[in-house]
Structure 1
Amino acid sequence: SRETSVTDDVAEQVEIQVKYEGYIQKSKLQVEKMKRMEDKKIPENIDYDAISGLATEALEKLKKIEPLSIAQASRISGVNPADISILLVYIEQGKIAKVSK
């Protein structure tokens, strides 16, 4: 009957939502993180050579491409998440140093 069909459809939707809720939540968090990274600007005068720990390939590409934001840097092939973390720490340390002067 039509009622059984609707009930089955609703049950299937609920099952899908329950099954994939973790994935959906994770995706939402990644989107929020990317938005924050898009807002996190890289200083124009940054000296990539002064950042210890960057992979050689990442260093070369960052110097060549000169991304304006962390999100742009994270989309460069050859720049891995560890390089992004190092870059973020370096930028934050620079801001702290400026504040304490």
Structure 2
Amino acid sequence: MNEPLVPCACASKCQAVSLRRQIEALKREIEMLKTDKEAAFSRGYLIACCNIEHMHHEEGVAFDVLAELQLSRSDVRRMNLTDYDKKALRRIENARGQSLFREGRKERNR
């Protein structure tokens, strides 16, 4: 015959552990979404700066604006830019005679 199920004596503890795991999984998911959102923003920002160079031939302005984003070369490589944007980025890099990327310049005091 069917015996009634007896709840575990530690049911509330088991439930708490399960909830903690769910919370941690959600926190990791939020961090991944933030990272994806930041990467998409940075890529769009960089492409907008490339468009400043392409459309207005203002390499110096594009350099100043893009330098504020403080990208590294590896950040840019991960963006999979088109040749069109890579060409503009090279002109922007050469505009000031100094490094556009954070690993190539000294940190500024803010």
- Shared fold (TM-score, shorter chain, > 0.5): no
TM-score (normalised: structure 1): 0.39
TM-score (normalised: structure 2): 0.37
Structure with bigger helix share is 1
